[in-house]
Amino acid sequence: MTGQAFFVLTALADGPRHGYGIVGEVAELSQGRVKLKIGSLYGVLDRLTAGGLIEPDREEAHDGRLRRYYRLTRDGRRALAEEAELRAATARVVWARLGLTGPAATGAGG
Amino acid sequence: MSGGLGLEQRYRRVLRLLPGYYRQRWEEDMVAAFLDSWLTGDPDEDEAIVEFCKPSWAEAASVAGLAARLYLGGAAAPPRYFAWGQAIRRAVLAVTLVHALLAVNVLVFLVWSRRLVGWLPAPPASLVVAPGGVWDMVYYLVCLAWIVIFLTLALGHYRTARVLAALAIVPGLVALLQAQLTGIMPAPFGPWIFWVLVDLAPVLAMTAFHRDAPATAPGPWLLALPAGYVLVYGPLLALQVTGNFAWLPDFSGLCCILVSLACLAHVPRARSRQANGSGVWSLALVLLAAVAGAYRIVTLTDYLHDPHLINVSLAELLIVLAAVALVAPDAARAQAATPAPPPHPHAMAT
């Protein structure tokens, strides 16, 4: 799973979001390191939808335009949990090899 | 917001890069998200934004990248786009194979003429390669690079292949510019067309090897390198060793002959409609024939002084046209009858 897909799924983990809502949440989650362009976002959303990991939730009118919201599917929730576990396990190995106990020990504050 | 038309229309113009089926499904969503990313909610500020602002180059590039991936379809793409994607991937592999064959041949001649393998007999004087300077060294390195590019592409290391190929075509461009500027270009158009069609175009077309592209079966391609060398350069070497240089085709003629033979070999599969995936090969052969034919036409200008060579070149052109006509109907069918595989469970989350 790419970083972009991981962040998009994570952005939807606590509830449905519309396209720009996902862009903003991904920027916040990544502390500004991942700034999705709209073309890139919909490339990811298209793949995740085709793979059954997310699905449309509802549409809401806003300033005369329809905003479509997306939510995680059960498969998407499972895939995200597996990916998070994999990344956490990798992080634990990194900390152990560096002789650290966790991200706080690096002084990153995260 | 009625005032949003200016910026919105500019963005919709960018979205026209995307295939129709995709726009039908996602355009309104993309436009809404795009406008959300610009508008502030302040009526005065928003009015200025929609009137004067336009999508950034980075935004347009993200749409162009998405369009390239969709047109050169992979898993889960509509049949037409999947067929084109597969055909271009195979055509790129074929052109890279030709590069690798050329490179192997150059390196074999180098090894032979420099007597780097003691037990080989001395080469004929006509085949001896004189020691060269820096450019020759660069040329041999580029040859080696093309062999590596072909192997990495066939083995599925697409990103490595793309980067190496982008680097490998630079010395050719520099040499062309130098020859052009110093007035020592051997022919007016041929070398440039070679660079554009055989170097640059495949590098650009390597975009087709994206994350959704189905994995290439490496076995047949890896086998094609030694087999191709024996089958193509064996006869050519025999002609050279025996002094029959008049029978040697030039590179564009060789391309026409190879594509024609490939078309003829493919005809039985193309005619048998049950052959699975034959249409994609037919489409790839049509693309390769277009490249070979275009290169042949342009290099005709190199032989304006020699009616015999013009006739030979025209014959090669006619042969490739006749051969490709045999597989063209199958290529046309492929665009409607090549279902894409479903998304790979790992690739779909990318």
Query: Three-state SS string across B88-157, please?
Result: HHHHHHHHHHHHHHHHHHHHHHHHHHCCCCCCCCCCCHHHCCCCCCHHHHHHHHHHHHHHHHHHHHHCCC
Residue A54: helix, strand or coil by DSSP? strand
pLDDT at B145 over 90: yes
Q: Which structural domain range is residue A23 located in?
A: 3-98
Task: Give the rounded percent of residues in chain B with a pLDDT score beyond 90.
Answer: 41
What are the pLDDT digits (tens) for B252-287?
A: 899 999 999 999 999 988 888 665 667 889 999 999
What's the confidence (pLDDT) of residue B52?
84
Tokens linked to A78? 């499972």
Residues of A in contact with B63 (CB under 8 A): 38-39
Report, in angstroms and rounded to the nearest whole number, the Rg of chain A calculated over CA atoms.
Answer: 16
> Could you tell me which chain B residue has the CA closest to the CA of A52?
B348
User: Most distant CA pair in chain B: distance in Å?
Assistant: 85
Q: Does A109 reside within a domain? A: no
The model's pTM is 0.80
CATH classification of the domain holding A71: 1.10.10.10
pLDDT of residue B149: 96
Residues B32-65: pLDDT tens digits? 899 888 888 788 888 888 888 889 999 999 999 9
Which residue of chain B comes nearest to A70, CA vs CA? B29
The pair of structure tokens assigned to B284 is 């790839």
In a domain, A71, yes or no: yes
| Residue A105 belongs to some domain of the structure | no
- Burial pattern A19-30, b for ≥16 Cβ within 10 A else e, equals bbbbbebbbebb
| CB nearest B349 (choices: A1, A37, A39) | A1
For B33, the closest of A4, A38, A44 (CB atoms) is: A38
Per the domain annotation, does A86 fall within a domain? yes
In the block, tokens 């093309």 appear at: B146
In chain B, which residue's Cα lies nearest the Cα of A18? B33
- Under a CB-based contact definition with an 8 Å cutoff, are residues B30 and B62 in contact? no
Q: Do B63 and A38 touch (CB under 8 A)?
A: yes
A66 inside domain: yes
Could you say which of B36, B58, B349 has the minimum Cβ distance to residue A51?
Answer: B349
Q: Which residues in chain A land under pLDDT 70? A: 102-110
Q: Select the more confidently predicted residue: B38 or B87.
A: B87
Please report whether residue A49 resides in a domain. Answer: yes
Its ipTM equals 0.81
* B121 close to A (CB below 8 A): no
Query: pLDDT value at position B265?
Result: 93
Q: What is the pLDDT of residue B3?
A: 44
Place B140 in a pLDDT band, splitting at 50, 70 and 90.
confident
The residues near B79 (Cβ < 8 Å, ≥ 6 apart) are B335, B336, B337, B338, B339, B340
Task: Please tell me the predicted confidence (pLDDT) of residue B223.
Answer: 94
Q: How many domains does the structure of chain A reveal?
A: 1
- Mutation target for A interface from B29, B35, B211: give the one with most A CBs within 10 A: B29
Q: In percent, how much of chain A has pLDDT > 70?
A: 92
Predicted pLDDT at B213: 86
pLDDT score recorded for residue B126: 65
| Residue of B341 and B293 predicted with greater confidence | B293
Angle at B240 between CA B237 and CA B241, to 5 degrees: 85
Name the phi and psi angles at A58, rounded to 5: -165, 170
